[in-house]
Amino acid sequence: MARSRNKYSRAAMRSRYRKPKRRQSYPWFYTALALVVIAGILAIVLTKSGTKSSDVPPRPANAATGFPGDHWHAALGVNICGEWLPFQAQSTVVAGNPNVYAGLHTHGDGFVHIEPASRADSGDNATLGRYVRYMGWKLSSDSVEGWVAPSFQPDKKAWSDGDRCPKGSPDAGKNGQLVWYLNCKASSGDPSDHKISDGDVIAVAFVPKGEKVGVPPSASGNPFKESGQGSFAFNNPECAKVLGSTTTSSLAPPSSEPSSTPPTPTTSTP
């Protein structure tokens, strides 16, 4: 009888101190969660990859939709040691490749004409660097090699930080540096990386540190039409304030240091 009670007591104690059951796992929940995360990542990737250069202005013409294509203009000037280079002659083709249309070109008016005919020249590809390359000159954060040399030194097109402005130039005897201005305000970084916007006024200058740079001469004019008949209206509000000033038409230094029909478009080089 005592043995039976002992058995009963041990059974009761075991039941009292029985380990709790493990929580039931739900593998399907984690699988579903992983699928949701993967789907979200794929959606982001597809959205980004689906935004083509041709979907971002400036855009080329689209025959399927009837969209005529964007046609933008930006005033551009290059100043070497205080002297503005003359406007580059008209060119609507890629330098060294006359059979290839340049979606960024000039009509000899001191303006960049942005008229992309393909994705290569549209959207974020419409940079100042691309225009410079198409037109056959060079530009970086610390140097410029123009399409023509300044009048005071006709044998020198390339200018790099530290070069001395020669005798006969407005800034003679002083060492120059590459600076640039966007919409009449000092800018920084590599000007070649700048994506051009409609109405931009861009001044690139090789001048002594602290020297003021004037507004590009073309900024007070209008870009020519391709037909040679008339011109487009052009106005940049920020630079208009500077041009309208009665005291100066110069930009403050950085705080830190004739027309013809273009050729039939083919494919612009990237």
Q: Is the entire prediction scored with pTM above 0.75? A: no
* 262, part of any domain: no
* 114, part of any domain: yes
Cα dist from 116 to 1, 49, 90, 128, 212, whole Å: 104, 21, 17, 14, 34
Q: What would the pLDDT profile of 63-118 be if each residue is shown by its tens digit?
A: 788 788 899 999 999 999 999 999 999 999 999 999 999 999 999 999 999 999 99
* 117, part of any domain: yes
- Residue span of the structural domain in which 166 resides: 72-251
Q: What would the pLDDT profile of 121-171 be if each residue is shown by its tens digit?
A: 999 999 999 999 999 999 999 999 999 999 999 999 999 999 999 999 999
Q: What is the pLDDT of residue 129?
A: 98
Q: What is the pLDDT of residue 81?
A: 98
Q: What is the pLDDT of residue 200?
A: 97
Q: Please report, rounded to a whole number, the percentage of residues in the chain having pLDDT higher than 90.
A: 58
Q: What would the pLDDT profile of 216-270 be if each residue is shown by its tens digit?
A: 999 999 999 876 667 888 989 989 888 875 333 456 566 544 333 444 444 444 4
Q: What is the pLDDT of residue 180?
A: 98
* 172, part of any domain: yes
Q: What is the pLDDT of residue 245?
A: 56
Cβ-contact 16, 8 below 8 angstroms: no
* 113, part of any domain: yes
* 33, part of any domain: no
Sign of the CA dihedral with 145 first, then 151, 154, and 160 last: negative
* 83, part of any domain: yes
In the chain, how many domains are there? 1
